[in-house]
């Protein structure tokens, strides 16, 4: 009985807080956009990441965020240890005013969290719905769960595919997890069909073409990819774009984002699509998206070139190789550190707390520390291509013009003792 009483009390408390959120938001003093700028206030978007990135809300004709706004969604959860870094990345300080916008409950929740972090000058931004907006250049290619669910249900959606579309889960090996739970109607792509030993480089163009045809994918098929780890989906996305698929999209946040929305899943064997006979264009349609070992070496000598290591700091400086099957430690002399995550299976430096893509401004700031700039000829690499593919896709979403993946990465480079390597602490030149 005591247990039930405790649950009832906690539930009642949560309900009371939920009901109180609009009132709490209303308690914030209002601030116009002009006054916010005059006060040099940090403008803060509290909505889910997909609206910030560019997707329009219901009833809107434009999506994206208020020009110059930072992003801190009410849906995110930070630990006490993570808060200082999060605040710093968004320019939030105790002595600066903050103008929040979004739904009343979202504004109230973020205001509550900021107060706990010592930020007291909080305002609610007025007129934000009609304010000038900014958005990710290719926001349409980073889809979100409710959009995909509506598309599957035949409902009208923004940025709808122009023709036939297909959904695929991407992972390594047999579809064991897929069998237990997957997005309804999704096919399955094993990354063993995309890359091969000994170095886990891309399979031949003919083998790549065969995989696409078997799965009913032409150059004009819209392909929506997701993974239990977004890196796997990004690996497939990069190679499909290299082949010539014109409309490749990723589910932002991967399958976890689908679960968070409590959307329907299926069990059972992988969905099989009707094969097609022709891809429609010659593969590769975009050879410039792929960098070889010799091209990587040439890029190091190019004045505007950037060979970008998307690895952990410990991998970059040689404390670990990152992989059980890669013995040499270190990195490529002259490479720039593009960040990664906590280990070889993580891209957390690029993700919000819910696994969605960070704002472009934060990724650009991260890369700018190592003189990695949008105008450069940039080739991303990691150990065997997965992390590099995700960095490539994010750069492409930001409309970088001259980007590729150095597919061989550290595995290929370090396998030849004649190739120079470097270890130890390093800083950007300049």
Query: Residue 250 pLDDT more than 70?
Result: yes
263 lies in a domain? yes
The reply to whether 273 and 321 lie within a common domain is no
User: Which range of residues forms the domain containing residue 101?
Assistant: 30-134
The reply to whether 344 and 251 lie within a common domain is no
H/E element, 386:
helix 386-397
Sign of CA dihedral 111, 114, 120, 125: negative
Q: Are strands 133-134 and 65-66 parallel, antiparallel or unpaired?
A: antiparallel
- Mean pLDDT value of segment 188-206: 96
Q: How far apart are CA 211 and CA 190, in angstroms?
A: 10
DSSP-based three-state secondary structure for 108: helix
DSSP-based three-state secondary structure for 405: strand
Catalytic residue among 25, 251, 382, 397: 382
The pLDDT, as a whole number, for residue 302 is: 97
Query: Residue 17 pLDDT more than 50?
Result: no
Query: Residue 3 pLDDT more than 60?
Result: no
The pLDDT, as a whole number, for residue 27 is: 85
428 lies in a domain? no
pTM of the full structure: 0.93
- Mean pLDDT value of segment 324-333: 96
Among candidate residues 134, 153, 187, the one where a domain is terminated: 134
Among candidate residues 284, 302, 323, the one where a domain is terminated: 284
The reply to whether 294 and 237 lie within a common domain is no
The owner of tokens 């408390």 is 13
The reply to whether 167 and 277 lie within a common domain is yes
Number of residues in the chain: 430
Number of separate domains in the chain: 3
191 lies in a domain? yes
10 lies in a domain? no
Pull the structure tokens for residue 25.
């938001």
The pLDDT, as a whole number, for residue 24 is: 52
The reply to whether 384 and 313 lie within a common domain is yes
The reply to whether 96 and 146 lie within a common domain is no
Mean pLDDT of the chain: 94
- Mean pLDDT value of segment 344-367: 97
CATH number of the domain within which 158 lies = 3.40.250.10
Q: What is the pLDDT of residues 37-91, one digit of tens each?
A: 999 999 999 999 999 999 999 999 889 999 999 999 999 999 999 999 999 999 9
The pLDDT, as a whole number, for residue 353 is: 97
The Cβ of residue 205 has, within 10 Å, a number of other Cβ atoms equal to 16
The reply to whether 326 and 270 lie within a common domain is no
Question: Could you give phi then psi for residue 199, rounded to 5 degrees?
Answer: -110, 5
> 382 an active-site residue?
yes
The reply to whether 323 and 405 lie within a common domain is yes
The reply to whether 254 and 295 lie within a common domain is no
Among candidate residues 134, 152, 172, the one where a domain is terminated: 134
CA–CA distances in Å: residue 315 to residues 184, 413, 421: 38, 14, 12
23 lies in a domain? no
The pLDDT, as a whole number, for residue 294 is: 98
The pLDDT, as a whole number, for residue 2 is: 32
The reply to whether 299 and 264 lie within a common domain is no
- Mean pLDDT value of segment 248-271: 97
12 lies in a domain? no
391 lies in a domain? yes
The pLDDT, as a whole number, for residue 346 is: 97
The pLDDT, as a whole number, for residue 258 is: 98
The reply to whether 104 and 181 lie within a common domain is no
Query: Residue 391 pLDDT more than 80?
Result: yes
- Mean pLDDT value of segment 181-192: 98
The reply to whether 152 and 241 lie within a common domain is yes
426 lies in a domain? no
């Amino acid at each position: 009985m005591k247990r039930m009483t405790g649950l009832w009390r906690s539930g009642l408390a949560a309900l009371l807080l939920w009901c109180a959120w609009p009132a709490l938001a209303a308690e914030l003093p209002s601030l116009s956009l002009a006054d916010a700028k005059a006060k040099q206030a940090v403008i803060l978007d509290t909505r889910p990441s997909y609206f910030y990135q560019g997707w329009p809300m219901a009833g809107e004709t434009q999506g994206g965020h208020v020009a110059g706004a930072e992003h801190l969604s009410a849906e995110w959860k930070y630990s006490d240890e993570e808060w200082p870094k999060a605040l710093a990345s968004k320019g939030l300080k105790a002595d600066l005013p903050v103008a929040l916008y979004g739904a009343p409950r979202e504004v109230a929740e973020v205001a509550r969290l900021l107060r706990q972090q010592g930020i007291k000058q909080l305002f609610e931004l007025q007129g934000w719905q009609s304010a000038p907006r900014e958005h990710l250049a290719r926001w349409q290619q980073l889809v979100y769960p409710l959009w995909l669910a509506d598309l599957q249900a035949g409902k009208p959606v923004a940025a709808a595919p122009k023709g036939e579309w297909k959904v695929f889960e991407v992972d390594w090996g047999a579809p064991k997890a897929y069998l237990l739970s997957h997005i309804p109607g999704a096919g399955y792509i094993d990354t063993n069909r995309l890359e091969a030993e000994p170095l886990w480089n891309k399979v031949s163009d003919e083998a790549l073409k065969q995989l696409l045809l078997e799965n009913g994918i032409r150059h004009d098929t819209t392909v929506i990819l997701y993974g239990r780890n977004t890196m796997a989906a990004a690996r497939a996305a990069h190679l499909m774009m290299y082949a010539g698929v014109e409309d490749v999209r990723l589910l932002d946040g991967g399958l976890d984002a689908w679960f968070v929305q409590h959307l329907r899943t299926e069990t059972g064997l992988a969905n099989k699509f009707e094969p097609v006979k022709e891809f429609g264009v010659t593969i590769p349609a975009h050879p410039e998206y792929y960098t070889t070992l010799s091209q990587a070496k040439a890029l190091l000598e190019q004045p505007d070139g950037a060979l970008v290591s998307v690895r952990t700091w410990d991998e970059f400086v040689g404390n670990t190789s990152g992989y059980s099957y890669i013995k040499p430690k270190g990195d490529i002399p002259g490479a720039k550190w593009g960040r990664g995550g906590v280990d070889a299976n993580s891209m957390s430096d690029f993700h919000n707390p819910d696994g969605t893509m960070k704002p472009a401004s934060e990724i650009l700031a991260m890369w700018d520390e190592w003189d990695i700039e949008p105008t450069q000829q940039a080739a991303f690499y990691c150990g065997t291509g997965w992390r590099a593919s995700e960095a490539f896709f994010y750069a492409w979403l930001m409309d970088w013009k001259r980007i590729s993946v150095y597919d061989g990465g550290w595995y290929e480079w370090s396998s030849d003792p004649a190739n120079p390597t470097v270890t130890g602490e390093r800083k950007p030149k300049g």
